[in-house]
Amino acid sequence: MKISRIIGFFLCLVFLVSMSLLPVYAEISENSENETRPAYSKGDLNGDGQITSVDYLMLKRIFLGTLTPTVQQLFAADVNKDGKIASVDYLMVRRYFYQTYYFPPDVLQTQIPLTEEQIETIKMDYVEYFKAEYGEEHVESVTVSDIIVGDYYGPYSSCYSLFISHREVGWPDAITSEFVAGYEFVYPDGQTLTVYKDSSFVNLETAYETGLISEDDIQDLYWYFNPNRFK
């Protein structure tokens, strides 16, 4: 009896939320059907690289408390990024599966964030890299507070892909691009992606050519980097 009441309450919530979803996102994604995406990206609860009925049923069970999620599943289930699993998340995934809704770009780009400790380590390593690159005698006063860690696009083969720079280093302020493994990465402000591993920093092309990241990694990274391809 208690379970039936919970399910009834859940279905009522789903109906109410369906009436309140913003219409700006109620568009069909032309490329969503059978698309392969990175495992455990938003909506992919079973990690198979697709959003299917299995995913929204798993999300429903997590919401009802009949399935204990892993950390990755919990991340994938919180589609609207409010820090909790609710009926709105279930509805978003279900509607995405039926192609009556697409995830906004800020949702598609979401990765499990770096911790403060990880960011601090990356900044300290970048200070040493920066001094070695430009000559310590010229940049002796560089500190961690001078380093800016921008958008982060996730871990790939034990590497981290992100934007990072010194606050006083300028970029050409012009659109640039690079082709890596057949994928074009376009940078509107001229700053290119950096790949970080074991205190070393290289550009995306070098990381791929030297085997730090694989072609599959590039494909997943491109998926996160270009969310507007769905529009």
Q: How confident is the model over 74-94, as a mean pLDDT?
A: 90
- To the question of pTM greater than 0.85 for the whole model, the response is no
In this structure, what CATH number is given to the domain that contains residue 66?
Answer: 1.10.1330.10
What domain range is 140 assigned to? 116-230
Query: Is there a single domain that holds both residue 195 and residue 155?
Result: yes
What digits encode the pLDDT tens for the residues 102-113? 776 667 666 777
CA within 13 Å, CB half, 117 = 0
Highest mean pLDDT, choosing among 104-108, 157-161, 164-168: 157-161
Q: How confident is the model over 199-222, as a mean pLDDT?
A: 93
Burial classification of residue 49, based on how many CB atoms lie within 10 Å of its CB (0-12 exposed, 13-18 middle, 19 or more buried):
middle
Query: Is there a single domain that holds both residue 216 and residue 137?
Result: yes
Query: Is there a single domain that holds both residue 87 and residue 126?
Result: no
Residue 184: the pLDDT is 92
Number of separate domains in the chain: 2
Write out the two tokens for 123.
Answer: 């900044």
Residue 190: the pLDDT is 85
Q: How confident is the model over 43-62, as a mean pLDDT?
A: 91
